Structure 1
Amino acid sequence: MQKVVIWGAASGLGAAMVEHFVALGYDVTGVARNPSKNPFLAQVATLVCDATDPQQVASTVEQIPSDAWVISSMGSFQAQVAVDYIGHRHLIDALQAKQVKRFLMVTSLGCGDTWPFLSDKAKAVFGGAVREKSLAESWLQSSALDYTILRPGGLKDGASNGLGVLSQSGEVHGSIARGEVAALVAQLLESEDSINQIYQCVE
């Protein structure tokens, strides 16, 4: 059974992905700074980690098998210490050291070459977090990992609904249910064609 390790599992998209991958029958481990925020994590293996601490990240990665699929949706909008870049940098470095190869990182529309398409209002509200995530993308792209980057539009509550559309170029705007993002993540990980590729998704 394929092992899937999900960082940021206590809330939001990470929590939705835990539930989705469990439903698909994968062997899921959730990683979170505060797992108690997500009661569903009591049903799966759980690791506690503050991703802003490189020693904690290295220790946590040492506990996962090298053939695991690793997923991260870590984010810290308006948090005192942002995890978006530094947490992912620590994680990417630790995965390389452990020789864990397969990693999918969820960022957001507006990152990288989609920055010009972000509205002025969105840049004012989310610009700092988007720039942090863009730095994380760059760190990942220059790593030795078999990576996939997924940039969803605005996230909303909801289960997978089959309405999500993946694309790799052009201007895209819109929202998407967290459950549908989880379904697209599974789809991408199951395809070797997604390795070293960047996608965006909206409904």
Structure 2
Amino acid sequence: MGILWSLARWLFGLLALFFVGYILAMSGYHSPPAASIARLAPDATPRTVMVIGATGALGRELVSVLRERGDNVVAMARASSDTAVIDGLGADKVVADALDAEQVMTAVGARPVDAIISALGTSATDLPERMNPIKAMIKGPPRMDPDKRPDFIGNRNVIEAARKHKIARFILVSVVGAGDSAEATPLAARKAHSAVVPLKTMAEDHLRGSGLQYTIIRPGGLGKQPATANAVLVEDPLAFSFISRSDLARLTVAALHDSTTVGKTYTAYDSDRRMLWQLFTAK
């Protein structure tokens, strides 16, 4: 009995050590200087905004914040997407698969809009198999043809459609790890995100060279917890924190309505959520 008890204690200690190590490895370590915080002063002028990826978790938050603010929203989604939430928020809809350049060109030109926010990204339902977080950290994500991921090709199609239809203002939600923020990604997450980060980098570069009035926003890990209202945008590529989608949506919409953010790349940073476990708390 004593041997079994000792073995159980040893196993429990090993699991606890692994859990603590995982939390630390998945957490940020760099605190951005206060001088790099963007002091957003969004104007009150209502706009008509097209949200790309509007039926995703972040897309729905963006539509909600825009509608709450008084903006008109045109939501682009695939024909197979569940649009019940955005329908209830009063958004207009256009149907297109972001991977189909012709469909995107038609959809983007279907309504007159002032700006585009792209929240495109590979969703769990796009993957060929369910992603196991632990396995992904060791072996990487499930293999998938990059041409079937919207992270670059989809965003490129939308950017080119915006240029064609002379929609000058464009906000791209990217990810920490893209471009010059590679070192900010938690070590344990780098393998898991190894397939998508290069595509996000390509999308950022394409947007910068497009001639559009762009703003790029890079969040770290996302959660569905309530907003802390303490999240900020920082011009620091080495910053990292977790952030709720609600906070990210509010920062993104504020940046859209603030002309001083044009031509800039920001990290979405929440000092209340630097550690992974804080993503699962109310604050």
What is residue 99 of structure 2 aligned with on the other side? 52
Cα gap change, 1:36 to 1:139, in 2 (>3 Å): closer
Contact 1:10 1:35 in 2 (8 A): no
**1:161 equivalent in alignment to 2:208:** no
Q: Encode CA deviations 1:147-195: one digit per residue, 9 max, x unaligned.
A: 0000011110034431112111252222111111111011111111100
**Counterparts of 2:175 and 2:120, CA distance in 1:** 11
**Normalising by structure 1, what TM-score?**
0.93
What is residue 208 of structure 2 aligned with on the other side? 141
What is residue 66 of structure 2 aligned with on the other side? 21
1:144 positional shift: 1.0
1:35 positional shift: 6.5
Cα gap change, 1:117 to 1:132, in 2 (>3 Å): same
Indicate the SS of the match to 1:162: coil
What is residue 73 of structure 1 aligned with on the other side? 119
- Greater radius of gyration (CA): 2
1:41 positional shift: 1.8
What is residue 112 of structure 1 aligned with on the other side? 179
1:23 positional shift: 1.1
**Counterparts of 2:78 and 2:233, CA distance in 1:** 30
**Counterparts of 2:162 and 2:52, CA distance in 1:** 13
**Counterparts of 1:49 and 1:159, CA distance in 2:** 31
**Counterparts of 1:46 and 1:35, CA distance in 2:** 13
* 1:75 maps to amino acid: G
Q: Encode CA deviations 1:50-94: one digit per residue, 9 max, x unaligned.
A: 0100000100111131x5111011001563510000001111111
1:36 positional shift: 4.3
What is residue 98 of structure 1 aligned with on the other side? 165
**Counterparts of 2:201 and 2:254, CA distance in 1:** 23
**Counterparts of 1:27 and 1:134, CA distance in 2:** 30
**Counterparts of 2:213 and 2:185, CA distance in 1:** 28
Structure 2 unaligned runs (5+)? 1-45, 128-143, 271-283
**1:199 equivalent in alignment to 2:266:** yes
Contact 1:11 1:38 in 2 (8 A): no
**Counterparts of 2:254 and 2:155, CA distance in 1:** 22
Indicate the SS of the match to 1:187: helix
**Counterparts of 1:16 and 1:136, CA distance in 2:** 22
Q: Could you say which structure has the higher strand fraction?
A: 1
2:240 to 150, 173, 189: 173
The farther-off stretch of 67-76 and 113-122 is 113-122
Indicate the SS of the match to 1:126: coil
C-alpha RMSD of matched pairs (Å): 1.6
Larger RCO (CA under 8 A, 6+ residues apart): 2
**Counterparts of 1:34 and 1:129, CA distance in 2:** 24
Cα gap change, 1:119 to 1:51, in 2 (>3 Å): same
**Counterparts of 2:159 and 2:237, CA distance in 1:** 28
Contact 1:160 1:183 in 2 (8 A): no
**Counterparts of 2:78 and 2:247, CA distance in 1:** 24
Structure 1 unaligned runs (5+)? none
What is residue 254 of structure 2 aligned with on the other side? 187
**Counterparts of 1:36 and 1:89, CA distance in 2:** 21
* Alignment length (residue pairs): 202
1:202 positional shift: 2.2
Indicate the SS of the match to 2:266: strand
1:34 positional shift: 4.2
**Normalising by structure 2, what TM-score?**
0.68
* 1:71 maps to amino acid: I
What is residue 122 of structure 1 aligned with on the other side? 189
How much identity, in percent, do the aligned residues show?
A: 29
